[in-house]
Amino acid sequence: MNSYSPPPIPSHHSPYPAPRQRSIWPWLAGAVVLCGIGFFLLMIVGIFSALATGIKEGATFSARSTNFNNTVIRSGSAESIVHIDLEGVITASPTRNGTSMVDDFHELVEAAVNDDSVKAIVIRINSPGGEVTASDRLHRIIQQADARKPVLAYLDTIAASGGYYAACGSRHLTAHPTTFTGSIGVIMQSVKYRELFDKMGVSMETYKSGALKDLLSGTRETSPEEIELVNTLVQETYTRFLEIVAQNRSKSVEELRDSPLTDGRIFSGAQALAAGMVDANGFVDDAYDHAMELADAKGASVIRYTPRVGFFDVFTQFASAGNSASRLEIDVSERLLPRLQSGVPLYLHADGY
């Protein structure tokens, strides 16, 4: 009896068909779609979160402008007193959105001046000062606004040097008794690193068209000619500061120059009142009340103007909050600590760095 043997299977053929390899593209496409949906939902939640926070704090968004927000501080009549903050080191350096704090401040003041329902403006100042030219621009903005409607300054925690300079553009200064103000003067600094270079074996070669072209260079000692030139510039800028203060406080430049209060020292709000450097001591509510008196707008509403936060700024802040379960951190280093350069004259209380 013959046994049946199946024919041999060719070695190059598998007894079973090979499984078909699946493409990864559908998975990638699905992942992209899901990420897009998640990103969209996250933005929607962020927007509603920001709006809910604004509503909770009593914010009302202005229909008259797309560049700033209104927050009702004190409800009252249809007439209003506008509160605008001037906070941080004063600088004309642009921020991420391309504008500077001076630009933003100017826009808010102009909006208040051009609104007929706004009867007066209170500028709350919390600043150690900053750049000379930026401080002078702020003073001019306030002074020009005050020519059209009353502008009052409220000096908060610190309103020193350029902060006080800017305040002198207003017609009335109210300071909290514990405010640090004054610091009337100019400071200009240069870092010297020649000895450090010598220790490191590094040297600097300079080719210049004139002896003072590399003024205040940190690679060498300061020459007597440089010292004379810089002191002349500092004294000229200091005299301008005294002229601004003299005009606001009804004092002479000579009287101020001889006063110990103009040697760069800071003093309290109570000391400033005793010396006639401010008009009153009190709280910001007292400044509101006095603004209503000057504008003959008793019972007016008090509204804070602030720059409008952009769409992507809201999302960025919300995303930052998502990284921390307990707190929201917003980077404002460019506003509070701008790029103040060596060798630049400043109306700045030195501890403001």
Token match 């102009």: residue? 110
Give the amino acid at 149: K
Token match 């060596």: residue? 342
**Are the C-beta atoms of 90 and 163 separated by less than 8 Å?**
yes
Per-residue burial over 163-178, b if 16 or more Cβ lie within 10 Å, else e, is bbbbbbbbbbbbbbee
Could you give the CA distance from residue 352 to residue 158 in angstroms, rounded to a whole number? Answer: 10
- Among 213, 252, 298, 342, the active-site one is 213
Structure tokens at 112: 């208040």
- Among 80, 127, 135, 161, the active-site one is 161
Q: Is 213 a catalytic residue?
A: yes
Could you give the CA distance from residue 215 to residue 211 in angstroms, rounded to a whole number? Answer: 8
Q: Is 75 a catalytic residue?
A: no
* Helical pair 132-146 and 224-249, crossing angle rounded to 10 deg: 20
Per DSSP bridges, beta strands 118-127 and 77-87 are parallel
Active site residues: 161, 213
